[in-house]
Amino acid sequence: QKEVEQNSGPLSVPEGAIASLNCTYSDRGSQSFFWYRQYSGKSPELIMFIYSNGDKEDGRFTAQLNKASQYVSLLIRDSQPSDSATYLCVREAGTALIFGKGTTLSVSS
């Protein structure tokens, strides 16, 4: 069983729509989670950090964490073509980060 599971996609949404990206994890003791965005050929960049159950909003992005269900999600409102990228769900494990394989998002104009 993979530690962090994501649907690889591609997830295709039209411009202006809400994109919903989901992730499940296997280690019930996990505390902190990140969403990184990676454009093709570029380095991963942090867009959201969440460690408490519930929602965390930052601009057009909302991260949701449900530790009982071992589920993390990322909502992107008013999606733009510039949001087209691979989104990596990541959990913190001691000193290391454990990555999912990523979900590719494509926003069409």
Partner 1 sequence: EAGVTQFPSHSVIEKGQTVTLRCDPISGHDNLYWYRRVMGKEIKFLLHFVKESKQDESGMPNNRFLAERTGGTYSTLKVQPAELEDSGVYFCASKVAGGYEQYFGPGTRLTVT
Minimum CB distance to partner 1 smaller for 52 or for 108: 52
What residue ranges in 2-95 does DSSP mark as E strands?
A: 4-6, 11-14, 19-25, 33-38, 45-50, 54-58, 61-66, 71-76, 85-93
Nearest distance, CB of residue 44 and partner 1, angstroms: 5
Binding-site ranges for partner 1 (CB under 8 A) = 2, 4, 32, 36, 42-46, 49, 88, 92-102
Nearest distance, CB of residue 64 and partner 1, angstroms: 19
Nearest distance, CB of residue 80 and partner 1, angstroms: 23
What count of other Cβ atoms lies within 10 Å of the Cβ of residue 48?
19
